[in-house]
Amino acid sequence: MNEHHYAKYDETIYDQKLDNGLLVQVLPKRNFHKTYAILTVDFGSIDRTFIPVNGQELITVPDGVAHFLEHKMFEKIDHDAFDLFGELGADSNAFTSFTQTSYLFSTTQHVHESLDVLLDFVEQPYFSSQTVQKEKGIIGQEIKMYDDDPNWRLYFGMLGNLYPHDPMHIDIAGTVESIDQITADTLYSTYDSFYQPANMNLFIVGNVDPAETMEWIADNQKQKHFDQVTIPEVQFELNDETGQDVIPFRTLEMDVTRPKVMVGVRGLEPISAGQAGLKYRLGVELLLDILFDDTVDNYLRLYNNGIIDDSFSYNFEMQRGFHFAYFSSDTDHIERFADEIIGILESAQQQIEAAASQFNNIKRAVLGRMIALLDSPEAIANRYAGKLFGATNLLDEITVLESITIEDLYVIAREFIQSQGISVYQIVPRHSN
């Protein structure tokens, strides 16, 4: 077991890679009541084309398989894992992203038993054609619910512009048509390929003793046999690396009160893996802050002119294989919003210079908010991105953040903001007939 002590923030993280390849990390918080544990599989909705462990040929599974698996993992031949957590008084949940699937619980009692339940239900699959059929109804409702959510439509509309031929533009849950093609066999072959201990990590934060916890987990794993198989290389390649396929503009009519607009920026340069990738992510986030956050003049001007209001927000997402930023607002001036945002982005070099006096301030605010996140077991564990950022945790992030200079921002802006990668998507109120 390795120990990493962060004296400045009074935290220690323990980690260990078990014989079967499962990476376990523990951050004890002895004055908390709760323990939060999250088991993450490095497999998500875009990972649809691969050679399965028991096959020779490349296959493409229907959209929505990762999310479907997540739903079905809980159900076993004679019980539901959800009920087992219930019997222990623990809350459990799961979620799927583009590149990861996570299973979690939170409890103030029976931590050892809950950890066993978590590891057992994720490591022992059971799928039948009958239960697969039934799940289609539930997931179908989930997809429909999101279809009515204008913010969700705006976000996926933008992804459709930025990645029109890549799987990111498809709802993580798939479509009603695609999930209809899923069978128990699809689930087994996908499961066997990706749900292997070496492709997972377990992060635990809360009121636990690290050595004892590691022992519990090692004991649990020793009782199971895993075939030594290679995790398939996911055949994810962007349809067009140069971004020539980016759709510059689309509009959707919907039953909304006010127009909504989003500007998106697709990153076109490949990103280094590990810590360098983390530094890039934090750098882009600082860049967006220096261009748009509420401490800079751009923000006040747009706000006072009614081009943005309190619904304005922006975000940067970076996952395995792709990264993009987006800016959105409800506004009565959708064209001006797009022009202004794009204008600021395209003159980023001058903008950084104009706001340079705010750089230290902005960085300090980001630092403070990251330190505040250390009060949240969920935030610490959920933020862990595994291999993508070289196994760095929130405390490492703080150190990396401190190393970023304003000079870095000029370089990052040049790399990230390219006109070819910029796009606009808008939702306007439907005209009643």
Active site residues: 70
**CA dist., res. 156 & res. 294, Å (int):** 26
**CA dist., res. 142 & res. 190, Å (int):** 22
| CA-wise closest residue to 212 among 289, 111, 292, 99 | 111
The 324-353 contact track toward another protein, x by CB under 8 A, reads ------x-----------------------
| CA-wise closest residue to 172 among 62, 44, 326, 38 | 44
Residues 50-89 that bind another protein (CB under 8 A): 82-83, 86-89
Using CB under 8 A as the binding rule, whether residue 138 contacts another protein is answered as: yes
The 192-231 contact track toward another protein, x by CB under 8 A, reads ----------------------------------------
**CA dist., res. 99 & res. 316, Å (int):** 16
* Beta-ladder partners of 323: 318
Minimal distance, residue 45 CB to another protein, in Å: 18
Using CB under 8 A as the binding rule, whether residue 25 contacts another protein is answered as: no
Any idea which residue has 């799961």 for tokens?
A: 94
DSSP assignment string, 188-239: HHHHHHH--GGGEEEEEEES--HHHHHHHHHHHHHTS-----PPPPP----S
Using CB under 8 A as the binding rule, whether residue 130 contacts another protein is answered as: no
Rg (alpha carbons) of the chain, rounded to whole number:
23
Residues 354-373 that bind another protein (CB under 8 A): 358, 361-362, 364-369, 371-372
Residues 87-116 that bind another protein (CB under 8 A): 87-91, 106-109
Q: Which residue from 5, 17, 79, 144 is in contact with another protein, where contact means CB under 8 A?
A: 144
Using CB under 8 A as the binding rule, whether residue 310 contacts another protein is answered as: yes
* Beta-ladder partners of 59: 50
List contacts with another protein (CB under 8 A).
8-9, 31-34, 82-83, 86-91, 106-109, 134-135, 137-138, 141-142, 144-145, 147-150, 255-258, 293-297, 299-300, 303-304, 306, 309-311, 330, 358, 361-362, 364-369, 371-372, 374-377
